[in-house]
Amino acid sequence: MLFEEKPIVLKDGTPALLRPARVEDAAALIDYLVTTAGETEFIMAYPDERAGMTVEEEENLLRGVIESPGRIMMVCEVNGELAGNCGLHMNPKRKVRHRGGVAIALYKKYWNRGIGTAMFNYMFDIARDWGLEQLELDYVEGNERGKALYEKMGFQEVARIPNAYHLSDGSSRAEVKMVKRL
């Protein structure tokens, strides 16, 4: 689904733009997915799992999001460069239509600049416009930076799934589930 572009100003005064992902962003989004997967253990996939995506596959995914009435993919653009993205989706089933899922990631060089907060606030506005009452997210245990952002934005931990993630170093981490009432 498309939504209006929104100019923002980062903590350091740099102008940025929150906007819908476009089909022509496909190659940049693949590079972003590969790079961010290598910058932290707290992304769902490893870089080699992202590297196999083709531009055509990503373009098709983006078309699907754009055409979906209950999904958005938002990107943040800083000086013409992709800084990160986030997604919001609503379940079409009536019993759970009041719930939405969110996910977010940024290039490491854009961490702690106010982008995550701005993206969440804009997602909250869109979710309310859709009539959503509750947003949900998952994160990997140990992601203290992410946890701090989610708590700041009003999410509360509701459950943990032990051993949900097996990392390449042989360790395991829980999946932490969080909820925010709108």
CATH number at residue 81: 3.40.630.30
CB 161 within 8 A of CB 118: no
Q: Would you say 140 and 165 are in contact if contact means Cβ atoms under 8 Å apart?
A: yes
**Structural domain boundaries, residue 82:** 6-136
**At 126, is the pLDDT very low, low, confident or very high (cuts 50, 70, 90)?**
very high
Asked if residue 162 belongs to a domain, the reply is no
* pLDDT surpassing 90 at residue 62: yes
Question: Above 90 in pLDDT, residue 51?
Answer: no
Q: How confident is the model at residue 33 (pLDDT cuts 50, 70, 90)?
A: very high
Whether residue 72 is contained in a domain is answered as yes
Specify if 69 maps to a domain. yes
> Is pLDDT at 12 greater than 90 in this prediction?
yes
β-bridge partners, 179: 136, 156
In a domain, 78, yes or no: yes
Confidence band (pLDDT; 50, 70, 90) for 105? very high
In a domain, 145, yes or no: no
Are the C-beta atoms of residues 118 and 18 closer than 8 Å to each other? yes
Q: What is the pLDDT of residue 123?
A: 98
C-alpha distance from residue 23 to each of 27, 36, 37, 53, 86 (Å): 9, 20, 21, 15, 16
Q: Is residue 93 included in any domain, yes or no? A: yes
Counted domains in the chain: 1
Mean pLDDT calculated for residue range 2-10: 97
Is 90 exceeded by the pLDDT of residue 38? Answer: yes
- pLDDT for 148: 97
Residue 173 in any domain: the answer is: no
Percent of the chain surpassing pLDDT 90: 95
pLDDT of residue 143: 96
The yes-or-no verdict on residue 50 having pLDDT over 90 is: no
- Residue-wise pLDDT tens digits, 133-179: 999 999 999 999 999 999 999 999 999 999 999 999 999 999 999 99
Angle at 182 between CA 87 and CA 129, to 5 degrees: 65
| HSE-up (13 A, CA, CB side) for residue 20 | 16
Q: In this structure, is residue 171 part of a structural domain?
A: no
Average pLDDT, the chain: 96
